[in-house]
Amino acid sequence: MKKKAIINTRILDPRNNIDEIGGILINDSGKIEAIGKKVTKENVSNAEIYDCKNKVSIPGIIDMRVFVGEPGFEYKENFRTLSQAAVSGGVTGVATMPNTLPLIDNVSTLDFVKRRSRDKSIIKIFPMATLTKGAKGLDMTEFGLLKLRGAWGFTDGTQSIQSNKVMDQIFNYGKNTDILIIQFAQDNELSENGMINDSLQATKLGLKSIPESAEQLIIERDLRLLENYNTKYHIALISSKKSLEIIKNAKDRGLKFTVGVSINNLSLNENDIGDFKTFLKLSPPLRSEEDRLALIDGVKQGLINVIVSDHKPEDEESKRLTFQQATTGASGIESLLSLGLELVHNGSCDLNTLIKNLTSNPAKILGIRNGTLSVGSEADIAVFDLNKPWVFKKENIKSKSKNTAIEDRKLQGKVEKTFINGDLAFSE
């Protein structure tokens, strides 16, 4: 590989507190050799030059909640199409959910996913395994063995552990094995058959709702149990102001855990559903504007640590149904950064905080060396134009499924180049 140099760019690396104009020199092994003001066109004469004046260069984005349809749902997404979608959005690594067919609750399926992703994916895949066999919330999977074979964390993905006893066992076992436990917090009874936020909007549309308390009950229960154990615990997604208050109280008591939020819940509210827009049938549901603003404040305060796409590709046949019949979820990996930049442009969030939640924070939680531009690290880099206006069109989506929640949305800020291990994986 020939050396490459990204020059005249704004380098933003929250992990190393870098925000300056300079360059990034990539060596012939695909790693960062030098970074900063000293990297200029004059002193990298043998390198392939990428002049990125007026662009921002950040570590490749790590998306901690991505559903890939392989195995079992390849008609919705596969590793190849996921990679294409990811790099167009500056994403170079993803944690994949275990809700495949079969589920990733055993070593043989995990091995298959690892082989398949190695052969077909150009981005880095960090597969999750389920917490319980069949994601039924009853019997724990073999955490130790699965971790040894390459599971980066454990979650039942779209399912939540309902049993207090099972969750207590999981925390207890996790304490001794140093595993990452990720919980999707939703009480099954309170959310049964629910589709949207419990509010006037649900009454108006005549749809069964999911109350905020369905999320809060599980979070409160888990945090009470967590007090007894020193276990790595991550709440996959929160959607309400009240959940944030519970989290703040727990963190004030000294509990150690981390929290994620979907970019959808930071950028949209329940009113965007309009007249039964099924592409906005999401889990957790979009909630009130007050909730959305509270979540943004949670990001700024550091109560929320990670912003994810919650990329869940679904074929049109699964979405173009009545609201009651439509499948939950939306494709979103390629618009994750641009939607996040909306928060920067409207003054809701500073750029460094946004990038931190997309790069170094998820890398730290997953325990991986990515999410940084440190010298010696793999050259996974996204370059974007902070001010470039564009419209997110369905026909330009690279994911195999086109179920976006933001079709025809006007955005400001677009990824123009993505490097993985020093190779140019995407260029607009």
Q: Are the beta carbons of 369 and 359 closer than 8 angstroms? A: no
The alpha helices in 261-302, defined as continuous H runs, are 263-267, 289-301
Q: Which amino acid is at 202?
A: A
Task: Identify the H or E element spanning 358.
Answer: helix 351-358
Pairing relationship of beta strands 423-427 and 409-420 according to DSSP bridges? antiparallel
Q: Judging by beta carbons within 10 Å of its beta carbon (0-12, 13-18, 19+), is residue 19 exposed, middle or buried?
A: middle
Show contacts of 23-26: CB within 8 Å, 24+ apart.
Answer: 24/57, 24/373, 24/379, 24/381, 26/379, 26/419, 26/422
Question: Residue 400 corresponds to which tokens in the numbers above?
Answer: 């195999």
Question: Residue 208 corresponds to which tokens in the numbers above?
Answer: 């069964």
Q: Judging by beta carbons within 10 Å of its beta carbon (0-12, 13-18, 19+), is residue 212 exposed, middle or buried?
A: buried
Contacts of 361 (CB under 8 A, 6+ apart): 258, 305, 306, 371
> Catalytic: 310?
yes
Q: 156, 222, 310, 380: which one is catalytic?
A: 310
**Of 75, 77, 79, nearest in space to 331 by CA:** 77
Residues with a catalytic annotation lie at 310
